[in-house]
Amino acid sequence: MQTKSQGYLIVASRKKSFYVSALNLIESIRDYHPEAKFALFTEKRFMDHRCDDIDYVFECGDHIREKMYGMANSPFDQTFYIDADCECEHEDIANVWDHLKDNDLVFVKLTKEKEAQRVFVEVDFNGNSLDLCGGVCLYNSEKPIVKEFMQEWYDLFLKQEAKEWWPEGYPKSLARWDQFTLWWLTNKVEKYKDIKIDIFEDNYRWNWFAPFGFDEDGKHRLVKKEPVIIHYSCFFNKDK
């Protein structure tokens, strides 16, 4: 039986700081998973000798949401996409693949605790919720429908951002979020209704945002065990 290729996918576009952070993320994963394979999507202007020991390096555009383009073009059969401004801090990273099971996509779900609301400002709308977080995504990139989904997520978001597409009756304030596009595709588009989506069992361990904070015993809030992926998104120095 041929084994499926598995790899981590990271996208660093627009700012050099994302590239530097992506390299740090790769190294931090290698600390716990030395045999890991990586695909990095980045702009040509950022590439330097540090790309040499990365398994796949692809050029991407300078759009802020090149991540969906990267996700649609994964060279692996099974892919774990991680935002570039993250760091790996736990050996369980090597077992992330066990969470895919027979699903097509596995996400972290945004929840309603007050600590979570320090990060996610606009989740509920019209009785619905943008509860799938695009910060990390484990997916079955071997399936053509999944890659089509990723490509459409990218294409539709570009239209949404350019004000060429917006469904009637939805708050316009949501147009800045690719999470809305994700919600739309997973809830309203017939073509993707059979895609199997699941949530990581230990949810925020796979995308723990630094502003969640620590309890009085110094333990990470909103998780029972130490996080695997720490996300620095909110205070990350994106200007450089």
Partner 1 sequence: MIKEWQTPAWDNEEKTRLIAVLVTKDENGQEKKSTATVNKFDSNGKVSKDWSDILEIHGVKGVDKGTEARMAFRKEKERKQRRADEERRKSEELQRLFNSKLACFEIEEVKNSKNTKLRRKIRKSKNEIELMTYTSVLVMKEYAD
Q: Which residues bind partner 1 (CB under 8 A)?
A: 17, 20-21, 23-24, 27-28, 31, 49-50, 87, 210-214, 216, 232, 234-237
Backbone phi, psi, residue 51, to 5°? -80, -15
Least Å distance between CB 71 and partner 1? 24
Least distance CB 197 / partner 1 (angstroms): 30
Give the closest residue to 141 by CA, choosing from 195, 186, 93: 195
Partner residues linked to 137 by β-bridges: 81
- Nearer to partner 1 among residue 48 and residue 190 (C-beta): 48
| Sheet strand arrangement including 229-231 | 86-88, 229-231, 208-209
Place of tokens 């097509």: 104
In terms of CB distance, is 97 or 214 closer to partner 1? Answer: 214
Q: Measured from the CB atom, is 20 or 199 closer to partner 1?
A: 20
Least spacing, CB of residue 205 vs partner 1, in Å: 17
35 versus 102: smaller Cβ distance to partner 1: 35
In whole angstroms, how close is the CB of 213 to partner 1 at the nearest point? 4
DSSP characters for 206-231? GSEEGGG-B-TTSPBTT-SS--SEEE
Kindly tell me the sign of the dihedral angle through the C-alpha atoms of 87, 120, 161, 183: positive
In the complex with partner 1, the residue whose CB is nearer, 27 or 98, is: 27
CB of 190 to partner 1, least distance (A): 42
Tokens of 40: 């990095």
- Residue labelled with tokens 């992926």: 229
Contact in structure between 13 and 43 (CB atoms under 8 Å): yes
